[in-house]
Amino acid sequence: MPNAGGSLPANLEDVDWAYVAGFIDADGSVGIERRKRASGEVGYSVKLYITNADRSTMDWLVSNLEGSVYLTNRHSPKHHQTMWRWVVRGKKAGPLLRELLPYLRLKKKRAELALRFVETITNGGRLDPESKRLREYLANQLTRMNFRGRPR
C-alpha cells in the first residue's frame, strides 16, 4: 500500500475525537477538490474542513491536529458574523479521518471514500490508469454527496 500519511500530531482522548467529529458532522466537510495543473492534467486532493465563528475552537484544532485557519467571509457585509475555516489537505487528512471514523455519523460514508482516496497517494510516483480512474470515481461520488440544492 502506498504511503498514506504520517502519524497523528497529538494524543487526544476519545472525548476529543468525538468533539471534533461532531464539528465535522455539523459544520464541516469531507471532500476531494479538483485542480487543473499547468500541464492541463487534473490533480486531486482530499480536503477536510470545519467552518465556525469561534476562533478559539479553530485555534484548538490547529494546536492539536495541525492544519491551517482562514477567514472565510472577509468580503461579506459588515453585519455578518466573522467566520473561520480550519483546513487539512492531502495525505495529512488520512490519519485524522481514521481516528474520526468511529465517531462520525452524518459524514461517515464521505470519510470512508476520502480514506480510500488517501490510500492511492504516492510519494511523487506516476499513477497507473486504474488508480486514476479510482480517484475520478471517488471525487465524483464525494461531489454528489456534498452537492447542495436539488438532487442530481
Digit-coded pLDDT (tens) for 36-90: 888 888 888 999 999 999 999 999 999 999 999 999 977 777 778 899 999 999 9
Q: Can you give the pLDDT at residue 15? A: 95
> Based on the number of CB atoms within 10 Å of its own CB, is 45 exposed (0-12), middle (13-18) or buried (19 or more)?
middle
Q: Can you give the pLDDT at residue 9? A: 60
Q: Can you give the pLDDT at residue 149? A: 57
User: What is this structure's pTM?
Assistant: 0.83
Q: Can you give the pLDDT at residue 7? A: 62
Does residue 131 surpass a pLDDT of 90?
no
Does residue 3 surpass a pLDDT of 80?
no
The C-alpha atoms of residue 90 and residue 97 are separated, in whole angstroms, by 11
Counts for the chain of helices (H) and strands (E), in that order:
5, 4
Q: Can you give the pLDDT at residue 73? A: 78
Cell digits of residue 114: 476520502
